[in-house]
Structure 1
């Protein structure tokens, strides 16, 4: 597995800027471009075994990034539409749930028991609002490591919250 991670890290380092610039031009928003670039590489890492090499890997990565961006736009449109509807949202993102006082305490309890480095990376990203690059610099790791570690922490928290959500529904 270490060989795969090293190879993917090389892809990440080589093509991150190209994908980021593509998304920056597409979205006209640097912070959205950064977030979606990280998401795109996270998705690409999970589906690299589906890459057949029929196109340039840069094109494949940009296609994933474009799909992530369009999903982001659809989600934003749904949020705006739902906001107009005046009923409570039952499927908030982890970041939205943190904003809610009742969920914040539950998340802090879950974070207290989360193992390192997941706990610190999650807290730096969500509460400290640091970029993946800044988190990577703190840990002296790669941006890809910070992105993957954050998403794993986020998934662990979401999973634990879903297990405990039934009394709240």
Structure 2
């Protein structure tokens, strides 16, 4: 199959970005890693064997880059307080706090899932990948991805539904 970089980017950039955003939760980092993913993919286009979908192949590259980024972050010094001074306050602090609390509850619940289950949920919900593609990305079957997703979703619902809300 003859591809050009523009076609590959146009068809897959949004999915790769969503996948990376689901992993890191940072728009800037997801954008940078998306660009790097496509740079690496273009360099290695001749090595693509076609035994998975292009989207799966790109997400495998993206995942590897995210792990490299995590490793780099572990070696760097934390930000100084002065570097955070440019951040602005939200327009509606109460709504922002509630949204942050909901997100924190979801993240805490997801931390309680196995790493594979978290990744399947992220790929499906944020990356909008099919179960077949998820299986390809993770080196498993479509059925495995489907079962892992539904069990993970049920576990999350139990964790979040069982939590009493105050306020």
Task: Between the two structures, name the one with larger relative contact order (CA 8 Å, sep ≥ 6).
Answer: 2
TM-score bin, normalised by smaller chain: 0.3 to 0.5
Q: Which structure has greater helix proportion? A: 1
Give TM-score scaled by structure 1 length: 0.44
